[in-house]
Structure 1
Amino acid sequence: MATRVFSDEELDGLRSFPAIGKDELIRYFTLTPADEVFLRKFRRAENVLGAAVQLSALPWLGFVPDEVPAAPPAAVGRLARQLGLAVADLAGYGEREQTRTDHLWEIAGYLGWKPAKAMEFKELDEFLLARAMEHDSPSLLFRLGCEYLRSAKVIRPGVVSLLEKVATAREAAERETHARVAHLLYPERAQSLDGLLVVDPELKSSRLHWLVTGPVQASPASVGGEVAKLRFLRGLGADSLDLSSLPAERRRYLAQIGRRLTAQALVRREPNRRHPILLTLLAQSSVDVLDSVVQLFDQTLSGSESRARIKLREVLAERAKLSEDRLALLDEILPVLADAGIPDEAVGTLLRGKISMSRLRAAHAGATVRLPKDHGHLALLEGSYTYIRQFAPKVLEAVRFKGGTEAKPLIEALEILRELNATGTRNVPGNAPTQFVPTRWQGYLDEAAAKGDATAYRHYWELCTLLALRDGLRSGDVFVPGSRRYDNPAAYLFRPAQWETHRSEFCRLVGKSPDASQALPLVMDELDEALTDLEEVLGRGDGPVRLNDDGELVISPLTAEDIPTEAEDLHAELERMLPNVPIASLMVEMDRHISFLDCFTHAGGKQARSPQLKRNLIACLIGLSTNLGLHGMAASCGIPYDVLAWTAEWYIREETLREANICLVNYHHQLPVTAMFGSGTLSSSDGQRFPTRGKSITARHLNKYFVSEGISTYTHVSDQHSTFGTKVIVATHREAHYVLDEILGNATDLPITEHATDTHGVTLVNFGLFDLVGKQLSPRIRDLGKITLYRMGAKADYEQRFPKAGPLLTKKANLDLVAHHWDRATGHRRLRCVP
């Protein structure tokens, strides 16, 4: 059983002394006067020193290894110096096993520790069962069990005994899982679950495979496919499954197993193991598919709008060209009209002779065309009305939308549109709301109504309704019950009573006063201090930050530092000294130091790791991170493709990659040489664009970077040059929306307190959010001298106190508004997720 979880080398490590750090050395191997008195009773020097090692090792490890003389030399030396003994005195200790055991029991009694007996094992079983309901990894459960025993001051039993307890807990967790969902597994549902694993003749695959296969592009067909999945899931009651009796981690684990196992593998599992997996998969799929339907609706509708916008640019360009022709015509007409020597009666004849009638008529026709406020954007989008009708009615029929008071007219319009689609009625009722229609599009409705064109009115009103729905979903004004991504934003906010209990702790964590009357004066003092520094810099007038003749702020670009020739020569010499190490060898060496490959755990909880697993993992990582791919890697290294594909499917996923990266970053952070680059408190982020092959709902067309389509990876890097966060985002999205994600989700040891971005990562909201969570945003903003700056008082006061810097603050901040919204009691709520 033990070797199925840990290798022989790992088992030996769990039974012996590990390496010890400076902090542990001081914490556990420092004797008190009472300790020294207790140890002196063992009399002989070897027994005194041996007992001292056991006395220190028990609180440190939770057990004492059999080979007491093999304790870390630094620890033995520290104890020997405190006791006035020689390190060599420990050499003969423990030759008689009974002596060592007797000493351990005396030491345990002195420290208040106890051996693991029936009651302790019963409590351990209960603890492990509770943890096994959340985590299925045997190695993790083993470590949690060790921590529990140490906190309870129970001497850890043997490794094999504890692993058997872990195995028992995992089996009990499976039985408990089935027992908690048994009331949902009535015969008809159990039969429906098993039906998911049968090949459907129409789909030519199992329903399970159909459900877990996501869309690859935004199109009416994809929307229809996801809506069909949603209806199927609702037919099985997946949207109403209550699995709250299972911990969230257990549900996530079971659903992950269901997504990765084939239908054939699930059929081979016993019903009490198979059915909970399928239940959790259905429940999660109902949420995921609902999110997918709404997301595809957004993307498909936006794609039509984008194509209309591109067409509009072409139309406007053509119109501009015609305008140039009319201007050229005007240049020919004006000299004739301005010539007083030409009789009035001869002007018309002269112009018609000089300029052809066809040219005049064409210019006149172009002049009579008047564009609406949006220059015809909605009219061009109306050309895609038939295309949009292929998916929009399906979405409205399958999804229910809700919103706040401001979204009430839109929600009412959606109900009317849903009714029109269901009954086949063409005309929009006269009382249909239009308050949500933007001013630039209202003219379309007014013109259609004036002409009595019910068809045009229906088209424009429906398009305005659908676009308002899309924008409402993006802003959160409209939400989808039962969704995760498009859920009600209020669900993530503290209620007033909850905020009352959290206010003091939150303000303490972020260093902010809960009282605006105390906080705002501090902000004003901070601004005055910054303006004083700026005034001094501008007063010199000769630096990179200065005022021009017009009183505008000028910030010169930073120049590159000159690198001495000696430094470049040294760099070249050092580079020649470094060996050319293959990347595979480098990864093997890094794993020897860090064991980061152990972070890649089996998605199904399988713990048996073949001797070739690390080799296969390295091959997969190299193949997936380069242009080789798994096929190319298989051809290069000789490992069969199916082996690499299986390894990648079960071991390489987002959470294991993140865990391995955390392991690497933490090791890099604690290296002495790393501190020469930076302290790890400063980080920066930027996006990189990569072209994609095939189809993906994340990829977008961007002429500047891609021939066809591509994605962006938004990367966070510390001042120690370690990448602690990477996120794949849509290439056309604003990067500022993702700046805080990896900083708040930073699970490494890097103490990030300040962050830098480029202009694309900056918004006023980000400045406020960074301040809210107690961190500093220090962006590099393009054209910084041209942005609007705010003051906190009268213009004359600032110009008097800061003659040069004061006039730059052209706007006044509304401090009354800030104070009014400072706390939830006056109108604001705080996000639950903010630390």
Structure 2
Amino acid sequence: MSVRCGRRWSRPPDRRPRSRRRVATVAELVPDPDSWEAGNRQAIAARYRVVRPFVRLLAEELPLGAAPAGTDLLIEIRGRIPGLLRRRVEQKPLTEADLNMTLVPPMWRWAVLNNPALDGAADRDAYVMCLLTQLHAALRRRDIFADPSLRWADPRARLLDGPDWAAVRGEVLAGLGLTASAQQHLAEYTATLDAGWRLLAQRIAEAGPDASVRVVPDGETGRMRLSVQRLEKLGDPPSLVDLHKRVAAMMPVVDLPELLMDVHSWTGMLDAYTHVGGLATRLDQLPVTIAGLLIADACNVGLVPVIRPGDPALSRDRLSHVDQNYVRPDTHAAANARLVDYQARIGITDLWGGGLVASVDGLRFRVPVQSIHAAPSPRFFGYKRGITWLNAVNDRFAGLGAIIVTGTVRDSLYILDTLLNLDAGPKPEMVATDTASYSDIVFGLFRLLGYRFSPRIADVGGTGFWRADVPGQPAGDYGPLNAIARNKVNLDRIVTHWPDMLRVAGSLITNQVRAYDLLRMLNRDGHPTPLGQALAEYGRIAKTLHLLAMVDPVDETYRRTVTRQLNIGESRHSLARKIFHGHRGDIMQPYRAGQEDQLGALGLVLNAVVLWNSRYIDLAVNVLRGQGYPVRDEDVARLSPLGYAHINMLGRYSFPTPSTEQKLRPLRDLDMVPE
């Protein structure tokens, strides 16, 4: 059935639930050789006609360079494609000898050499399309790169080397704790792994048949695997429930703009917004204007609700001028640093954590406007495109920094970039992430840079475990765990590439190269380079230590720490959604600079709410203790500054005059606590 839409007829959209829609199988996506004779050849020819007008420009005009792995491909594209485009193949057919078949993968050979319509001649259209797909893959791996370019440059050229590396090597390695030789470092590291295996074997044996971790056969592969019981949720004791109700009832009611001005009076955060030219400001009430812009961006409501024609600080002209000259990512970061440092000095935050545990997770936003900085993902954005706001949060609930990722690619490619560009706070020692964010290479890089990478892995018992047997020493005996510790780390490969691994770590820590580009180069679409293989071997030691701690049947502290930290990130995202309520929570900025400014404002306002709540929770707890109410530290440690029932974020945008006095609002009466 068709329906009438204006003057055009169109078929109604598929209304079936997404889960019931038919998904193509692998066999359908990769057709058998005979299928090239029909639709697939027509599709290749059609695509060739689309790309032909600009292929010559691609081959001759773009400033492309190549690493050794991409040299042959770039030579072929520049040297052969222009001639193929001009060649009349119907008069002078191509043969296999005319082409560089080493660049043609097996899945393309049928398309290039077996076109029955060409009587045995090679298919020029298929060959050109094959080279273009190879070029796309090489650009992603940076085997072919653009020069000059920021996004598509060669990360190898930015790695520290020669005199530059020699000048900073000692200081960098001392800071990372990597001054020992490769053999000595690996001897200590493998001894730690051996002790971890022995401890787990001992605890499983002591627990007996009631152990929460058991070695069982895998029904699919027949090999042995670990069966790990699910971690039970900690219940809320009555004392915690009552304390939470009392503290929530005592929190003052406040509008979001007033909260922002309160935090400014404590920290001076709005004074961090300086003129882009470094000029001294002559604007009166500049903090009020900055606060108006932060609310407009963080709440996603635009300037209209905050404009006050009778107030010079909130006029449209003033807001526009300040937005262009004062609000930018580096001033957002400077203001955020003041919030993070101030919150760390509030007494109650010491019970929440020491600031050395962090998590990195992404919050996704749809971008319904046309933008090259957004990408599709039906799972998260439906029929729209979107971006991911990847942010780091510590165990004190404070946001440490964030970056914007186009679309929803694997977070692991960007986590290091986020951590290496934090706004403030101590360097985290432990970094928790979700399952989709780990790989052996990522584990290796995190360990080199001094982080304990702690992803929450879904099937922790079925993941690959590794052992490291030192040459010349007897292999460790781990009893029933020997069937699990069957994979061996190649230590010789690590020793061989150790100098280059240190150079990579130094280049990352000094921000010479982006971790995203480096990981893409090392991995090569699932086929690691020799250096990538060495990093993967090194990372397997760190991954196994992480897995052994996660499955420990006696001490659940590490596993619960990872879960708690990830829950903090999820709760913080819920508060961010509440603040970012305008336009149904969609980003309306088409350009990356606008997206960074808006989400930078959201992160700052989010941290201001966390700081404001932290101070008043600390005050409420101290008041309760002064009144003789029994407050237990273990209950206070489970309170959260992410509540927002007492904060009004809708409708009222009134900005009081900034005050130099750090006054606190009175707490509400405890009589408001419901029975």
TM-score by length of 2: 0.63
- For 1:443, the equivalent position in structure 2 comes to 110
- For 1:274, the equivalent position in structure 2 comes to none
> How far apart are 1:527 and its partner, in Å?
0.9
**TM alignment of 1:423-502, pairs within 5 A:** 430-448=97-115, 451-452=118-119, 457-496=123-162, 498-499=164-165, 502=168
- For 2:426, the equivalent position in structure 1 comes to 750
- For 2:451, the equivalent position in structure 1 comes to 775
**TM alignment of 1:331-346, pairs within 5 A:** none
Unmatched 5+ stretches in structure 2:
1-20, 219-223, 511-675
* CA distance in 1 between partners of 2:162 and 2:72 (Å): 28
**TM alignment of 1:759-770, pairs within 5 A:** 759-770=435-446
**TM alignment of 1:338-417, pairs within 5 A:** 370-371=34-35, 380=43, 383-417=46-80
Residue 685 of structure 1 aligns to a residue whose secondary structure is strand
* CA distance in 1 between partners of 2:282 and 2:87 (Å): 61
- For 1:612, the equivalent position in structure 2 comes to 285
* CA distance in 2 between partners of 1:764 and 1:786 (Å): 15
**TM alignment of 1:126-525, pairs within 5 A:** 316=24, 370-371=34-35, 380=43, 383-417=46-80, 419-420=82-83, 430-448=97-115, 451-452=118-119, 457-496=123-162, 498-499=164-165, 502-525=168-191
- Output the amino acid matched with 1:739: I
Instruction: Give yes or no for the alignment of 1:702 onto 2:377.
Output: yes
Which residue, 709, 712, 715 being the options, matches 2:388? 712
* CA distance in 1 between partners of 2:33 and 2:77 (Å): 34
Which range moved further: 803-812 or 497-506? 497-506
> How far apart are 1:383 and its partner, in Å?
3.8
**TM alignment of 1:37-76, pairs within 5 A:** none
2:337/2:424 contact within 8 Å kept:
yes
* CA distance in 1 between partners of 2:308 and 2:366 (Å): 24
Deviations 1:229-283 (A, max 9, x none): xxxxxxxxxxxxxxxxxxxxxxxxxxxxxxxxxxxxxxxxxxxxxxxxxxxxxxx
- Output the amino acid matched with 1:629: G
1:504/1:514 contact within 8 Å kept:
no
* CA distance in 1 between partners of 2:331 and 2:240 (Å): 40
- Output the amino acid matched with 2:412: A
Residue 660 of structure 1 aligns to a residue whose secondary structure is helix
1:718/1:724 contact within 8 Å kept:
yes
* CA distance in 2 between partners of 1:474 and 1:320 (Å): 26
Q: 1:377 to 1:451 in 2, by over 3 A?
A: closer
> How far apart are 1:452 and its partner, in Å?
4.4
1:479/1:488 contact within 8 Å kept:
yes
* CA distance in 2 between partners of 1:579 and 1:665 (Å): 22
Q: 1:775 to 1:315 in 2, by over 3 A?
A: closer
* CA distance in 1 between partners of 2:443 and 2:341 (Å): 28
- For 2:499, the equivalent position in structure 1 comes to 823
Deviations 1:764-813 (A, max 9, x none): 11111111112211221111111112222399x99971112221123222
* CA distance in 1 between partners of 2:28 and 2:48 (Å): 27
- Output the amino acid matched with 2:265: R
Instruction: Give yes or no for the alignment of 1:576 onto 2:249.
Output: yes
- Output the amino acid matched with 1:581: V
1:687/1:713 contact within 8 Å kept:
yes
* CA distance in 1 between partners of 2:309 and 2:58 (Å): 47
Residue 340 of structure 2 aligns to a residue whose secondary structure is helix
- For 1:629, the equivalent position in structure 2 comes to 302
> How far apart are 1:631 and its partner, in Å?
3.2
Identity %: 26
Q: 1:379 to 1:314 in 2, by over 3 A?
A: farther
- For 1:291, the equivalent position in structure 2 comes to none
Q: 1:420 to 1:683 in 2, by over 3 A?
A: same
Count of aligned residue pairs for this structure pair? 474
Q: 1:635 to 1:457 in 2, by over 3 A?
A: farther
> How far apart are 1:388 and its partner, in Å?
3.0
2:353/2:396 contact within 8 Å kept:
yes
- For 1:596, the equivalent position in structure 2 comes to 269
* CA distance in 1 between partners of 2:106 and 2:113 (Å): 11
* CA distance in 1 between partners of 2:59 and 2:250 (Å): 67
Which residue, 546, 549, 565 being the options, matches 2:214? 546
* CA distance in 1 between partners of 2:406 and 2:124 (Å): 33
Deviations 1:127-160 (A, max 9, x none): xxxxxxxxxxxxxxxxxxxxxxxxxxxxxxxxxx
* CA distance in 2 between partners of 1:806 and 1:508 (Å): 36
- For 1:343, the equivalent position in structure 2 comes to none
Q: 1:755 to 1:646 in 2, by over 3 A?
A: same
> How far apart are 1:684 and its partner, in Å?
0.6
> How far apart are 1:501 and its partner, in Å?
5.5
Instruction: Give yes or no for the alignment of 1:652 onto 2:327.
Output: yes
Which range moved further: 491-500 or 591-600? 491-500
* CA distance in 1 between partners of 2:310 and 2:411 (Å): 38
Structure of larger gyration radius: 1
* CA distance in 2 between partners of 1:318 and 1:538 (Å): 42
* CA distance in 1 between partners of 2:143 and 2:367 (Å): 34
Q: 1:395 to 1:656 in 2, by over 3 A?
A: farther
* CA distance in 2 between partners of 1:383 and 1:820 (Å): 49
1:683/1:756 contact within 8 Å kept:
yes
Deviations 1:522-574 (A, max 9, x none): 12201111101211232224343333365421223322210012321221122
1:537/1:545 contact within 8 Å kept:
no
Q: 1:547 to 1:593 in 2, by over 3 A?
A: same
- Output the amino acid matched with 1:491: A
Report which of the two has the higher share of helix: 1
* CA distance in 2 between partners of 1:574 and 1:378 (Å): 69
Report which of the two has the higher share of strand: 2
- Output the amino acid matched with 1:772: L
> How far apart are 1:382 and its partner, in Å?
5.0
Q: 1:800 to 1:760 in 2, by over 3 A?
A: closer
Deviations 1:304-361 (A, max 9, x none): xxxxxxxxx989569989xxxxxxxxxxxxxxxxxxxxxxxxxxxxxxxxxxxxxxxx
- Output the amino acid matched with 1:780: R
- Output the amino acid matched with 2:128: E
Residue 752 of structure 1 aligns to a residue whose secondary structure is coil
Residue 554 of structure 1 aligns to a residue whose secondary structure is strand
- For 2:480, the equivalent position in structure 1 comes to 804
RMSD: 3.6
- For 2:417, the equivalent position in structure 1 comes to 741
1:494/1:830 contact within 8 Å kept:
no
* CA distance in 2 between partners of 1:762 and 1:821 (Å): 22
- For 1:347, the equivalent position in structure 2 comes to none
- Output the amino acid matched with 2:78: E
1:713/1:727 contact within 8 Å kept:
yes
Residue 69 of structure 2 aligns to a residue whose secondary structure is coil
Which residue, 350, 353, 356 being the options, matches 1:681? 356
Deviations 1:581-609 (A, max 9, x none): 11111111111111111112222334224
> How far apart are 1:372 and its partner, in Å?
6.7
* CA distance in 2 between partners of 1:715 and 1:452 (Å): 58
* CA distance in 2 between partners of 1:545 and 1:801 (Å): 18
* CA distance in 2 between partners of 1:681 and 1:537 (Å): 28
- Output the amino acid matched with 1:521: A
Residue 235 of structure 2 aligns to a residue whose secondary structure is coil
2:359/2:392 contact within 8 Å kept:
yes
* CA distance in 1 between partners of 2:372 and 2:494 (Å): 40
> How far apart are 1:450 and its partner, in Å?
9.4
> How far apart are 1:816 and its partner, in Å?
1.7
1:601/1:656 contact within 8 Å kept:
yes
- Output the amino acid matched with 1:663: R
Residue 740 of structure 1 aligns to a residue whose secondary structure is helix
* CA distance in 2 between partners of 1:480 and 1:583 (Å): 46
Deviations 1:50-71 (A, max 9, x none): xxxxxxxxxxxxxxxxxxxxxx
Which range moved further: 715-724 or 540-549? 540-549
- Output the amino acid matched with 1:386: R
Q: 1:381 to 1:505 in 2, by over 3 A?
A: farther
